[in-house]
Amino acid sequence: MTRTAVVNDYKHPQPGATSTLTLDEKVGQEIVKNGIKRPKGYTVSYHANPEVEKMHFGPKHPMKPWRLTLTNKIVLAYGMHEAMDVYIPRAATFQEMTEYHKDDYIQFLSWVTPKIKLDPEASNIFPYNMGDDCPVFDGLYEYCSLYSGASLDAARKLTNNQSDIAINWSGGLHHAKKAEASGFCYINDIVLAILQLLLYHPRVLYIDLDVHHGDGVEQAFWSTDRVMTLSLHKYDKANFFPGTGGSDDTGPKNSANPGAHHSLNVPLQDGIDDESYVQLFKDVVNPCIGTYQPTAIVIQCGGDSLGGDRLGCFNINIRAHGACVEFTKQLGLPLLVLGGGGYTPRNVARLWAHETSVCLGTDLHPSLPAHTPFIEHFAPDKSLYPELSQTGRYDNKNTGKYLREIVTSIREQLRYVQGSPSVQLQHVPPDLGAIRDEVEREIQEEREAREFGRRRKERGAGIRGEYAH
């Protein structure tokens, strides 16, 4: 056989001559197939630092940051990144995190490691509530600063008018308290982000879709009328974490306190279904908007309210959960979209990918793209929308009468909210944006000082580049 014949037999295939496509070409086909394009009239930003995905709570812990990897891979496989402004945010600084949390607690997170034996009897350890739910793992402080930094970055894009809808799926850790960890949450990035929004917005509405009550956020803004919290969750005081969020938990009991009647709770029983959940959501959010008149909204999209979740007890499907985000988006207010709970990673990833498409106004094809990394984890159907309401199904204990009573209770509480709050008398938190600029300026000054010192040494030694490293 001649050399020419060999070359002809194994020549590189020409474009279109084979079904083999590059990854970019496959993604491009998905973009066309799903009609993905930048939204008209508004901007969506996506905030994701891949370093968060590498964190590991432990082999038996239900919190799996790897769910973020699956989410981002689906988003990229469909090509949704082409329709958004995508940012890799920096970590939050110590000073930024202490705008809400106590200094000694953040100090503790910064130095504690798994090699340090936690003594329940030690006064400097026990108050921080570290343990099985909130373990100490390698990279804990980095993890906290990364997901918090992403939420702060997203909030700043909203306040700077660089974005209308800002997404951070690594955020939404709503149980963390001012001086302790709780419920898999260490830093309350939601509180930090809302503080940032309050620099520019007189009123913020916080909506929580997690199956667990958003107690940490409610507690943080308990005594202010500048934030209204609305949490839809499973409630069982004795048997379901955190045991708070009953219908009578509406804020301070003293009506003279500005925060009175600004903490609204929707306590649900096991097994609520799609139709009931979506209708209930609309029935409670609408009067909140009409009465409170927020100028920005933060929505926590915890995936543990899906059917079949490892720690959940509802019968909700992905499209129904997304319908709540769609309804909130249609209100046309600056919107911060955050993650939260969710302990069946494949379904959490499906949900957050779908809700990313909701933010973009795009209807995705239900079959996951064949080139999606780790697609075997979505077997056997490999669908974006599996039927979850029948997975480990719970009997629906939420009667129509019970749900109507909840709506009536919410409307009754809103009667006490006398119009928009007066922001002149409220404490305005420090400008986290200014803190950020100051930190970055200090970093630049240190870099310039090191460079100046290196050049002086080189001039003295006469050897160029000797001190460059």
Q: In what order do the strands lie in the sheet with 263-268?
A: 85-87, 44-47, 165-168, 335-338, 296-300, 204-208, 227-234, 263-268
**Strand boundaries in 303-354, DSSP class E:** 335-338
- What pairs with residue 316 in β-bridges? 306
Q: What is the DSSP letter of 182?
A: B
Contact 204, 196 (CB under 8 A): no
Per DSSP bridges, beta strands 44-47 and 165-168 are parallel
Residue 175 among the catalytic residues: yes
Residue with tokens 């309050």: 198
- Dist. CA 286–CA 262, nearest whole Å: 15
Q: Three-class SS of residue 284?
A: helix
Q: How many CA atoms lie within 13 A of 336 on its CB side?
A: 38
**Strand boundaries in 21-135, DSSP class E:** 44-47, 85-87
- Examine residue 242 and say whether the peptide bond preceding it is cis (omega within 30 degrees of 0): yes
pLDDT top residue among 256 and 453: 256
Q: What is the DSSP letter of 282?
A: H
> pLDDT tens digits, residue range 412-460?
999 999 765 555 434 545 555 555 556 556 656 666 666 655 555 545 4
Q: What is the DSSP letter of 266?
A: E
Per-residue pLDDT band for 23 (boundaries 50, 70, 90) equals very high
How many beta carbons lie within 10 A of that of residue 434, not counting itself? 10
Contact 303, 347 (CB under 8 A): yes
- Examine residue 369 and say whether the peptide bond preceding it is cis (omega within 30 degrees of 0): no
pLDDT of 209 higher than 60: yes
As a dihedral over the C-alpha atoms of residue 54, residue 57, residue 62, residue 64, rounded to 10 degrees, the angle is -10
- What pairs with residue 297 in β-bridges? 205, 335
pTM of the model: 0.86
Contact 234, 313 (CB under 8 A): yes
> pLDDT tens digits, residue range 345-398?
999 999 999 999 999 999 999 999 999 999 999 999 999 999 998 877 899 999
pLDDT top residue among 2 and 230: 230
Catalytic position from the list 175, 201, 213, 233: 175
- Return the minimum-mean-pLDDT range out of 104-108, 142-146, 250-254, 464-468: 464-468
- Exposed / middle / buried, residue 177 (Cβ in 10 Å: 0-12, 13-18, 19+): buried
> pLDDT tens digits, residue range 47-105?
999 999 999 999 999 999 999 999 999 999 999 999 999 999 999 999 999 999 999 99
